[in-house]
Structure 1
Amino acid sequence: MSEITYVRGDATAPSVKGVKLIAHVCNDIGGWGKGFVLALSRRWPEPEAAYRAWHRDRAHNDFGLGATQFVQVEKYVWVANLIGQRGIRTGSKGVPVRYEAIDTGLAHLATKAAELDASVHMPRIGCGLAGGNWSRVEPLIMRRLVERGVAVTVYDHGE
């Protein structure tokens, strides 16, 4: 069975051939301004603009935990804005990450990856500012993507 490939580097610059889907976790309150999204915004303005418009018009669309928005940023590169965290602060209900929402979003990602015949590239989603544990996220990625034949590369940012 396939495995996740782990590399040091920048998830916004995958160096493989073919169509690439860059996945990351967003919050459900419209905030975009810390963590991996900054690297995305430095490279392309479209994911942030699409996310903000999606949030602004949420009364009329599927914006919410588990939803995933796909934004094409180059001919062979797409960004997946996956809503996988409730709010942005750790509080009485614990850390912001929502594993069920990430799981649902990964299912959407698997469908899109199959449709585009794309590989998936991501940082350790849900484990930075969202406060999640990789030991809980990794099995979701294995089940939703890797076991379905989707090539997944996880990037640990090099110093």
Structure 2
Amino acid sequence: MKKLSGDLLQLAIDGQFDVIIHGCNCQCQMGKGIALSVKRQFPEAYDADCQTAKGDAAKLGTVSIAEVERHGRAFHVVNGYTQYHWRGTGVKADYEAIRGVMKTVKSTFPGKRIGYPKIGAGLAGGDWEVIRAIIDEELAGENHAYVEYSA
């Protein structure tokens, strides 16, 4: 896993990534964190989320995908269903769902430049070391990078 600093969404717009992944809940909300930024900057991704069944636990570990074009550059935004809901305290990240999302990304976008934030380790409360190991295992052999946010 490579580590970069910056704004994942801006890096995608600037052509640094072919695919960006962010974690979503299964409630079609995108109301906080990077999901809210995705919803605002890439409404196509929110539209893809809204095409899925709201509140369906079967979405865990799956994805919805939007193709986005900005300033003549095209890339994909992957909404990874990595948690069922956002309410309450404690860990809401589902590690097996994160694994499923990464497997799908690898099989759908082989050879592409992939970027992501600390999926599941922010508002979802997951353990980044566990998640990092899952990502490294599932995206082995791919060109992928964790982007630590900095303005």
Aligned residues: 147
Once the two structures are aligned, what percentage of the paired residues are identical?
27
Match of 2:45 in 1: 47
Contact 1:18 1:76 in 2 (8 A): no
TM-score normalized with structure 1 length: 0.82
Q: Distance in 1 between matches of 2:101 and 2:92?
A: 16
Structure 2 equivalent of residue 70 of structure 1? 65
Q: Distance in 2 between matches of 1:103 and 1:113?
A: 15
Distance 1:134 1:56, change over 3 A: closer
Residue 114 of structure 2 corresponds to which residue in structure 1? 120
Q: Provide TM-score, normalisation by structure 2.
A: 0.87
Q: Is the 8 A contact 2:18 2:74 kept in 1?
A: yes
Counterpart amino acid of residue 41 in structure 1: K
Which aligned pairs between 1:61-140 and structure 2 lie closer than 5 A? 64-74=59-69, 75-91=73-89, 94-114=90-110, 117-140=111-134
Q: Measure the CA separation in 2 of the matches of 1:70 and 1:135.
A: 26
Alpha-carbon distance between aligned partners in 1 of 2:36 and 2:85, rounded to the nearest angstrom:
18
Give the aligned CA root-mean-square deviation in angstroms. Answer: 2.2
Residue deviations 1:78-97 (CA, integer Å, cap 9, x gap): 00111011211245xx4210
1:94-118 per-residue CA deviation (whole Å, 9 max, x = no partner) reads 421000010011100101121xx31
Letter in 1 for 2:86: I
**What is the distance in 2 between the residues matched to 1:22 and 1:141?**
13
Moved over 6 A (4+): none
- Corresponding residue of 1:6: 3
**Displacement of 1:29 after TM fit?**
2.1
Structure 2, unmatched stretches of 5+, are none
